[in-house]
Amino acid sequence: MSWYRNTVWFVKGLREYTRGGYESASKHFNPADVEVDVAGRSFLVTGANSGIGKATAKEIARRGGTVHLVCRNKERAEVAKEEIVTETGNQNIFLHIVDISNPKEVWKFAEKFRNEHKLNVLVNNAGCMVNNRELTEDGLEKNFATNTLGTYILTTALLPLLEKEADARVITVSSGGMLVQKLNISDLQSENGTFDGTMVYAQNKRQQVVLTEQWAKAHRNIHFSVMHPGWADTPAVRSSMPDFYEKMKSYLRTEAEGADTVVWLAVSAEATQLPSGLFFQDRQPVATHLPLACTHSPPEDEEKLMEVLEEFSQKFRSTSPG
């Protein structure tokens, strides 16, 4: 069945995920949706020094928002911050150096942030696609540590802060690649079988969709969403998928086009008129499963994922400073 899923996903991608797909979808956008002033609202964007994250942060800054950039590389982050301030004239841009793959570091950051700032919108954008199985210093498979566990810990740690605010939102940048994966809770760290970084990444992105759906059920006064930016020309795509990039580079979306739906979900009033927990593409909710693809999971598997991630989370919290 995997060949069927992969083929259907790729054909769908050629039609919808490329620049042409964005141009077609954008004909139906209402520009007024994102022509808003968000001064006084606080946004946290992870992985904000390049790609979708930087494009998102820049657009929010243009609209007057206070933006917290969470980045791993200090040098690149400082360059990105300077660029955002210069281009937007917004001085309320703050930088935090955090490695999302390090759960103790994420806990330490989140607990400090909770004591010092307010937060209206969290954008979980940081991610990685490591093509060979690598372990972090904590013995965690790196893709899982970054894409799934890091996202889980940061979000759950900041929920109390978000709960205090009106119109609080959490947006997670996923991928249409998750459509080829069924949730697999038996091998979260990819220890069994041949390691395929692209499929591990897709599995992590399926996990993010499940997380969003579960959070939406549990936290009714926060609007959760997860989205696919399409196939965009970003540094991450160039470095992680060089063959794909070479074949598709003339068809890829710009970073701003990839970030458009993130910005829409973060700032528009229209986004929160739709139910919490949905998966979006080009400002529209879309299905989380391909027809006939057999990727649905039983509810107990989805609940088990949350339980296992909470166990991981608390293990690292107990050893974190502060």
Task: Return all residues near 74 (Cβ < 8 A) that are at least 6 apart.
Answer: 97
Query: How many Å apart are CA 209 and CA 204, to the nearest integer?
Result: 9
SS3 (DSSP) at 214: helix
Q: Kind and range of the H or E element at 44?
A: strand 42-46
CB 122 within 8 A of CB 100: no
Residue type, 78: E
Active site annotation includes 201: yes
The residue among 287, 264, 281 whose CA lies nearest residue 21 is 281
Query: How many Å apart are CA 77 and CA 90, to the nearest integer?
Result: 16
Task: Return all residues near 207 (Cβ < 8 A) that are at least 6 apart.
Answer: 147, 148, 183, 305
Query: How many Å apart are CA 194 and CA 278, to the nearest integer?
Result: 32
Q: Which of 17, 22, 152, 201 is catalytic?
A: 201
Query: How many Å apart are CA 182 and CA 201, to the nearest integer?
Result: 12
> Any idea which residues carry the catalytic annotation?
201
